[in-house]
Amino acid sequence: MNWTVASDIDGTLTGDRGALDRLALRLRQSRALGDLCLILSTGRRLEQVVQGMADEGLPEPDYVMCQVGTEIYQSPLHEASEALPAWREKLLAQYSRQEARRFLTGIEGLVMQPDIFNTELKTSCFLDQCPEPETAAAEIGRRVAPYSDRYQVIWSSGRDLDILPADSGKGKAIRFLIEQEGLEDEPVVVAGDTGNDIAMFEEFERGVVVANAKPELVEQARALKDSDVYYAQQPFAGGVEEGLEHFGVLRQSTGPV
Ligand code: GLC
Which pLDDT belongs to residue 30? 95
Task: Provide the domain limits for residue 24.
Answer: 3-88+168-246
Residue 203 falls inside a structural domain: yes
Is residue 158 domain-shared with residue 176, that is, in the same domain?
A: no
Dist CA 117 CA 125 (whole Å): 9
74 has a pLDDT exceeding 90? yes
**Number of compact structural domains in the chain:** 2
Probe target for ligand 1 pocket from 68, 104, 155, 200, with the most ligand atoms within 8 Å of CB = 68
Q: What is the mean pLDDT of residues 104-108?
A: 98
pLDDT bracket for residue 256 (50, 70, 90): low
Which pLDDT belongs to residue 65? 98
Strand partners, 174: none
CATH code, domain carrying 41: 3.40.50.1000
CATH code, domain carrying 133: 3.90.1070.10
Is residue 143 domain-shared with residue 177, that is, in the same domain?
A: no
Judged by DSSP in three states, 127 sits in coil
- The least confident of 10-14, 55-59, 75-79, 160-164 is 75-79
Q: How many CA atoms lie within 13 A of 79 on its CB side?
A: 5
Q: How much distance in Å is there from the Cα of 1 to the middle of ligand 1?
A: 33
Q: How much distance in Å is there from the Cα of 64 to the middle of ligand 1?
A: 15
Probe target for ligand 1 pocket from 66, 116, 156, with the most ligand atoms within 8 Å of CB = 156
Q: Dump pLDDT digits (tens) for 109-139.
A: 999 999 999 999 999 999 999 999 999 999 9
Q: How much distance in Å is there from the Cα of 67 to the middle of ligand 1?
A: 7
Judged by DSSP in three states, 56 sits in coil
Write the residue with the smallest CA distance to atom 1 of ligand 1: 43
Q: How much distance in Å is there from the Cα of 35 to the middle of ligand 1?
A: 30
Indicate the DSSP class of residue 180: H
Residue 67 falls inside a structural domain: yes
Is residue 127 domain-shared with residue 177, that is, in the same domain?
A: no
Written as one letter, the residue type at 135 is T
Dist CA 223 CA 217 (whole Å): 10
Query: Model-level pTM?
Result: 0.95
Q: What is the largest CA-CA distance in the chain?
A: 57
Phi, psi dihedrals of residue 77, rounded to the nearest 5°: -95, 140
Residue 231 falls inside a structural domain: yes
